[in-house]
Structure 1
Amino acid sequence: MIAKLKKITAEIGFKRYFKNTVWVFGGKVLQIISAIFIGAWVARYLGPDQLGILSYSQSLIALFLALSTLGLNGILVRELVNRPEKKNVLLGTSLILQTCGSIFLMLLLVYFVYSFEENELTRKIIIILGSATFFDSFTVITLYFQSTVESKFTVRINIAVLLISAFVKIFLILSKAPLIFFVILILAESILTTIGLIWLYTNKGLTLFNWSFSKKIAKKLLKDSWPLILSGIIVSIYMKVDQIMIKEMMNTAYVGQYSAAVRLSEAWYFIPSVISTSLFPAIVNAKKRSEELYYERLQKLYDLMTLFSISIALPMTFLSGWLIKILYGEAYFLSGDVLSLHIWAGVFVFLGVSREGWILSENLQRYTMVYLGLGMICNILLNLFLIPGYGIIGAAAATLIAQAVSVLIAPALFKSTRISFVMMIKSLTFYSIFSRITLNKEIK
């Protein structure tokens, strides 16, 4: 068995994918570390009110960000893998489409801020942050290297920009710079990343001047991506509408308190993606051998996600107040209670991410938008009822319940996906884990 494992790991293909995964994972970890520590220092410096203005502006842009990316990312990678000889026209067409999407997004933002937003500073921040989407269109270069399993190069660019940004943020804090400087820095990060990606692409002997636009390919890409645009908007509303509603129903200081907790709560969300990506090929291969083995492995994945998420949520529940005080300071005294509740939404996020592979494997993607739509509607309605009475604690409760509806309850409504509901219940009640332990004892 050991000899076989060594043979597999010695293969060039395996080493290539493994190294690529390690680089991507390492980049994510560094981003999380920076977000927690440097981000907390920035939040402590800005205070709840200014952080609230920044978080509200970012959430507003995120609501319609899918109009800028046009849901093309996954589709572009697929096309680049399947038709590498068409890379110049695929990349050029995608860049033009996303740039047009960014223009449309900016027009919406300008209309919104000058029609509904009275605060001049907030207006400026939204416009500056929105303009970053033009430069983000060049992430098509990142997708090219992703398709060639060379993400380590783009990760290095991201790490370099991350380090530069971290040092500049520290300088701005020590210099007592105003909020607008931190906003400009976010735009500068996008510009630096774009410059780095273009340099990387040309350094590989390639050139952007060979890129071209094809109306035929544009129609095909948009035909494939429009469901993803819609689902992307739904996801954004689902995930960010709480901060928008807190600002409109309360004020930006409460948005700052809430977003400080959410940033810590969501910092763990990259874990299920990494685990599922690594383990799901083995689950799919099991289906070729038997349906029983396939679902047995899927159940084990759900069990693993449940244990991981609860092992994070449980200590965070009791340490949330202390952690918020250490990282953010006394000014964020309300964030601890929000974190202790919001962290449990991660249990459903972990399970939901692990289910995505099964949805694709069973060709049940049509249900995903229904789940997300139900979660979005639930979140909006609950926020309307809970925020007036319970403030940002109510918003956290709304998020938790909406996640439970989207991930756990919604699959029970349809016969084709009901098995997912049953398996998740077995994981959440530890029934499958205890059954496996009992069975192993009986065998021994």
Structure 2
Amino acid sequence: MNKLKLFAENFLIYGLGGVISKIIPLIMVPIVTRLMPDSSYYGINDLSGTVIQFGSSLAVMGMYDAMYRMFFEKDEDDYKKTVCSTALIFTCFTSLVVFIIMLVGRKVIAQYFFSDPQYTYVVYLSAMATLVGATNSIISAPTRMQNKRKVFLVTNTLSPLISYSVSIPMLLAGHYVIALPLATVISGVTMEIAFGIMNREWFSLKRFDSKLLKQLLAIAIPLLPNFLIYWVFNSCDKVMVTNMIGLEAAGIYSVGSKLGNCSQLIYTAFAGGWQYFAFATMKEKDQVRSNSLVFEYLGVISYAATMFICAWSCTIFKILFTSEYWSGYIIAPYLFLAPLLQMLFQIAANQFLVVKKTWPNMFILSTGAVLNIIINYVLIPVLGIEGAAIATLIGYAVSDVVCVLVLCKMKLMVVSWKFIMASVVMSCYIVIWRVSFHSNFVAGTIVAVLAVSVLMFLYRIDIKKLISILKK
């Protein structure tokens, strides 16, 4: 009961904070697209975010997760402050290096990501956002690690509000290319100053410990390829669409992915509370069973939500967007499920981190990432943006299956027959949806209700138990 309460509290509070930071940009997508002359401008802005994600992954180098893991190793405050200080000093150095590399290679980056060297000035802004964002992730960490929920909730609400208070006036003034990247920089600097003031007692140059840094790097370095592989999954398809089809298609794909990434609300809610829960309970005897149940339950919730997104995607696009973007509805369901499969992978793969073996993640994710790129090259010329979305989904699905099989063999995870049946139901539904009723709201909804009923029947005993626990 205590573990359920701990997970629920962190899921709701940190999750709500994370969801607010995601839902505001999501709500703003239809507004922003209407303020831009055509889809290519939205593609450029979204690709700037892709550059920032790539640079940030290199700059942080897995240090955030390593710091989180080592923070709970001992209870002494002096030790925890040393962990935070060492992580920040190292990340400041790597962030500065990445910043300089981005400035020096700005023309190459502009050509590869934006398919045109004229956008070097966008790379300048992306480099600044990378420098701020990477260091901010470490500076803000003590707030979460101390479980300061209210602070986290407020700051995650303010950040997007600051960003759009800057970008919307710029869009109205006609600065379509730099509005969102510049707003990201300004918002990031504001949040970094705020967290720097709040968490200043946790960081000190004098507390840098080279021996502790070696321990942090032993955990962090094997995680770096994982974050780069996540970038391949989440962003490489946009770059490939840009270079193989064009900026206009990239803009439509970006909008489709934004609606698809409504699932990021579920994923963010999970991620917000998961890390604290996972490491706070990692030494308990029934940890394997608890982790496995979280995997299954969130997996079934993900399947149910995806079924309704499949049914409603076409209608939602026609309501929210202009006709230029309507073709993006077909990719939304694939990209709705993909982040949820990423969430399931992280739940399962956390078992490797608990036993301090982070290298299996890299090999498993690499398999899915390579498969993703290969399928992109095959399907994008044939199916266009839908091919890129299918490639992302298949890549994550393969990674999940391989990860679960390895963990089950290591006796670090248990998967019931019910979840296997639920996965079969999900697979059948998405194939039938695409072939028979991908634009039919009524038929899609009816079949979705029937399929979700099957999932509820499979987990009827678990649902009764959960209801009983919540009542108590």
Please report the TM-score for the alignment, with normalisation by the length of structure 1: 0.81
Query: Is residue 401 of structure 2 the alignment partner of residue 404 of structure 1?
Result: no
**What is the match of residue 69 of structure 2?**
78
Q: Check the 8 A contact 1:43/1:51 in 2, yes or no.
A: yes
- Once the two structures are overlaid, the 10-residue window that deviates more, 382-391 or 416-425, is 416-425
Tell me by how many angstroms 1:339 deviates: 1.3
1:26 and 1:79, CA in 2 relative to 1: closer, same or farther beyond 3 A?
same
Residue in structure 2 matching 1:242, options 218, 237, 246: 237
Residue in structure 1 matching 2:46, options 55, 59, 67: 55
Distance in 1 (alpha carbons) for counterparts of 2:162 and 2:22: 16
**What is the match of residue 180 of structure 1?**
178
**What is the match of residue 167 of structure 2?**
169
Residue in structure 2 matching 1:152, options 150, 153, 170: 150
Distance in 2 (alpha carbons) for counterparts of 1:358 and 1:99: 29
1:246 and 1:212, CA in 2 relative to 1: closer, same or farther beyond 3 A?
same
**What is the match of residue 309 of structure 1?**
302
**What is the match of residue 377 of structure 1?**
370
Tell me by how many angstroms 1:420 deviates: 5.9
Tell me by how many angstroms 1:364 deviates: 6.5
Unaligned runs of 5+ in 2: 426-453, 465-472
Tell me by how many angstroms 1:272 deviates: 5.0
Tell me by how many angstroms 1:71 deviates: 0.8
Query: Is residue 139 of structure 2 the alignment partner of residue 123 of structure 1?
Result: no
**What is the match of residue 382 of structure 2?**
389
Distance in 2 (alpha carbons) for counterparts of 1:116 and 1:139: 24
Tell me the number of residue pairs that the alignment of Structure 1 and Structure 2 aligns: 423
SS in 1 for 2:387: helix
- Once the two structures are overlaid, the 10-residue window that deviates more, 404-413 or 297-306, is 297-306
Q: Check the 8 A contact 2:164/2:183 in 1, yes or no.
A: no
1:429 and 1:213, CA in 2 relative to 1: closer, same or farther beyond 3 A?
same
Aligned-residue identity in percent: 19
Residue by residue over 1:401-428, the C-alpha shift from the partner in whole angstroms, topping out at 9 and shown as x without a partner, is 1111111256447872697677542331
Query: Is residue 264 of structure 2 the alignment partner of residue 266 of structure 1?
Result: no
Tell me by how many angstroms 1:109 deviates: 2.5
- Once the two structures are overlaid, the 10-residue window that deviates more, 357-366 or 398-407, is 357-366
Residue by residue over 1:242-298, the C-alpha shift from the partner in whole angstroms, topping out at 9 and shown as x without a partner, is 1111112121111111111112222323525645857987xx799847x9xx65x66
1:152 and 1:45, CA in 2 relative to 1: closer, same or farther beyond 3 A?
same
Tell me by how many angstroms 1:88 deviates: 4.8
Unaligned runs of 5+ in 1: none
The one-letter amino acid of 1:309's match is S
SS in 1 for 2:31: helix
Q: Check the 8 A contact 2:83/2:212 in 1, yes or no.
A: yes
Q: Check the 8 A contact 1:80/1:144 in 2, yes or no.
A: no
1:287 and 1:435, CA in 2 relative to 1: closer, same or farther beyond 3 A?
farther
Residue by residue over 1:273-327, the C-alpha shift from the partner in whole angstroms, topping out at 9 and shown as x without a partner, is 645857987xx799847x9xx65x6665454334322222122213212222333
SS in 1 for 2:164: helix
Tell me by how many angstroms 1:227 deviates: 0.6
Q: Check the 8 A contact 2:126/2:181 in 1, yes or no.
A: yes
1:248 and 1:287, CA in 2 relative to 1: closer, same or farther beyond 3 A?
same
**What is the match of residue 320 of structure 2?**
327
Query: Is residue 26 of structure 2 the alignment partner of residue 36 of structure 1?
Result: yes
Distance in 2 (alpha carbons) for counterparts of 1:176 and 1:100: 36
The one-letter amino acid of 2:96's match is I
Query: Is residue 139 of structure 2 the alignment partner of residue 141 of structure 1?
Result: yes
**What is the match of residue 252 of structure 2?**
257
Q: Check the 8 A contact 1:34/1:166 in 2, yes or no.
A: no
The one-letter amino acid of 1:84's match is D
Distance in 2 (alpha carbons) for counterparts of 1:223 and 1:339: 38
Please report the TM-score for the alignment, with normalisation by the length of structure 2: 0.77
1:223 and 1:336, CA in 2 relative to 1: closer, same or farther beyond 3 A?
same
Distance in 2 (alpha carbons) for counterparts of 1:174 and 1:30: 25
1:22 and 1:304, CA in 2 relative to 1: closer, same or farther beyond 3 A?
closer
Distance in 1 (alpha carbons) for counterparts of 2:345 and 2:84: 31
Q: Check the 8 A contact 2:88/2:203 in 1, yes or no.
A: no
Distance in 2 (alpha carbons) for counterparts of 1:304 and 1:225: 29
Q: Check the 8 A contact 2:13/2:149 in 1, yes or no.
A: yes
The one-letter amino acid of 1:402's match is G
Distance in 1 (alpha carbons) for counterparts of 2:282 and 2:143: 27
The one-letter amino acid of 1:384's match is Y
**What is the match of residue 89 of structure 2?**
96
